[in-house]
Chain A
Amino acid sequence: DGGITQSPKYLFRKEGQNVTLSCEQNLNHDAMYWYRQDPGQGLRLIYYSQIVNDFQKGDIAEGYSVSREKKESFPLTVTSAQKNPTAFYLCASSPGNTQYFGPGTRLTVL
């Protein structure tokens, strides 16, 4: 069953804690992306990676970190430095001309 998986679906975090959101794809895509969505807003780019062991900051990278050690995986860590982390996080992968999205993770800070 090919596609993009994100886990967990729902995540709760206490203030001051770091959390890591998982994104895995078995589509053999080189490029992967993380977006954040707030209510009534479009998606905003956090980080992207075009090849293994390389990644670039997007428009709102502050307070986030990523790694790309394997082609299939692109985890996102939300650090305590992110002032307003409650949001819906979407991961995508791309073979080049279009993007395929995972089901998303909803993060809530308590």
Chain B
Amino acid sequence: KQEVTQIPAALSVPEGENLVLNCSFTDSAIYNLQWFRQDPGKGLTSLLLIQSSQREQTSGRLNASLDKSSGRSTLYIAASQPGDSATYLCAVTVSNSGYALNFGKGTSLLVTP
């Protein structure tokens, strides 16, 4: 069964710092990998989607990489802002289970002014 692990579980940084969130998965036979943001008590917002054939995706200050062979992905956030404070979830899609998502437990990020 696919297992998704996110490190660290929590992170606190001062505003302006660059930071990296890590995600690892046990089965490299994935369809794609997504990074989501979740604010407290809210649903999920998709940040970046990387297809299995791609190495990275960028959106504004966010950059996500994928190394499928080693089962790893990183989310890089440049010049962090207090508004980036949220929980970041990594999820992989596998072709069985109707392309449902397998999630990590998330990294809780706090950016202090």
Q: Are A99 and B101 in contact (CB under 8 A)?
A: yes
Main secondary structure of the interface of A (DSSP, over half): strand
Residues of B near A31 (CB, < 8 A) are: 98-99
Which of chain B's residues 1-55 have a Cβ closer than 8 Å to chain A?
4, 31-32, 34, 36, 41-46, 49, 51
Instruction: Report the contact-size class of chain B (Cβ under 8 Å from the partner).
Output: 20 to 34
Of B32, B42, B99, B100, the contact of A104 (CB 8 Å cutoff):
B42
Interface bits B97-108 vs A (CB < 8 Å: 1, else 0): 111111111100
Q: How many residues of A contact B (CB 8 A)?
A: 28
Rounded to whole Å, the gap between the CB of A63 and the closest CB of chain B is 19
Main secondary structure of the interface of B (DSSP, over half): strand
Of A48, A88, A96, the contact of B100 (CB 8 Å cutoff):
A48
Q: Which residues of A contact B (CB under 8 A)?
A: 31, 33, 35, 40-45, 48-50, 56, 58, 88, 90, 92, 94, 96-104, 106
Q: What are some 30 contacts across the A-B interface (CB < 8 A)?
A: A31-B98, A31-B99, A35-B101, A40-B105, A42-B89, A42-B105, A42-B106, A43-B101, A45-B101, A48-B97, A48-B100, A49-B98, A56-B97, A56-B98, A58-B97, A90-B43, A92-B101, A94-B99, A96-B99, A97-B32, A97-B49, A97-B51, A98-B32, A98-B34, A99-B34, A99-B46, A101-B43, A101-B45, A103-B42, A104-B43
